Amino acid sequence: MRKAALTVDTWELARLGQEQQGDAPLAGFSRLLEGLPEQTDHVVNWSVTGETNALGQRFMVLQAQVDVTLECQRCLSMFDYPLQTENRLQLVETEAEIEAEEAGEDDPDTPDHLLGSSFFDVLTLVEDELILALPYVPKHEVCPSLPQELETSEGSDTGRPSPFAVLAELKKD
């Protein structure tokens, strides 16, 4: 399944300070899904918001989120991880400006540069950013397997009388 191409006009978004948002089925994000376990029908929610600052610099803030099924590397069970990303990118008009930024690269606070376009392929950027947000070693914050086992064994105990209760009954006679 390929995701449908979806374009936005980054210059218009920045000029008008507009937001555009949408949903796309996770199944279409084949690069993101490479190497991940089988997924259920999750949906990627995304939005892009344009900005122009007082200096005339143009930006686009991209946000995206989706629940992805990952395998916990501690207990090896599958769990849904709330994958989300937000990045503020400075829009530039030429590849040369991107190269200049990469050559400089001394200020970590400088936003990443992005080549703007009137027909910008937004879902490819969404996919790139989500890939960067994937955890290297996915893990539950607290693995549920151990507490669950304790709970079920405790639960099954309540169904039958404890040996002490049985003894107490015998002593009554």
Interaction between residue 15 and Zn ion (CB under 5 A) = no
Report d(CA 166, CA 22) in Å as an integer.
63
Instruction: Return the range that interacts with Zn ion (CB under 5 A); candidates 21-29, 83-91, 118-126, 138-146.
Output: 138-146
Shortest distance in whole angstroms from residue 70 CB to Zn ion? 10
DSSP strand pairing (113-115 vs 120-121) = unpaired
Of 57, 74, 110, 135, which one interacts with Zn ion (CB under 5 A)? 74
Interaction between residue 78 and Zn ion (CB under 5 A) = no
Shortest distance in whole angstroms from residue 33 CB to Zn ion? 21
Interaction between residue 72 and Zn ion (CB under 5 A) = yes
Q: Are 16 and 49 in contact (CB under 8 A)?
A: no
DSSP strand pairing (78-92 vs 113-115) = parallel
DSSP strand pairing (120-121 vs 7-8) = antiparallel
Shortest distance in whole angstroms from residue 155 CB to Zn ion? 21
Report d(CA 67, CA 26) in Å as an integer.
9
Interaction between residue 140 and Zn ion (CB under 5 A) = yes
**Which residues are near Zn ion by CB under 5 A?**
72, 74-75, 140, 143
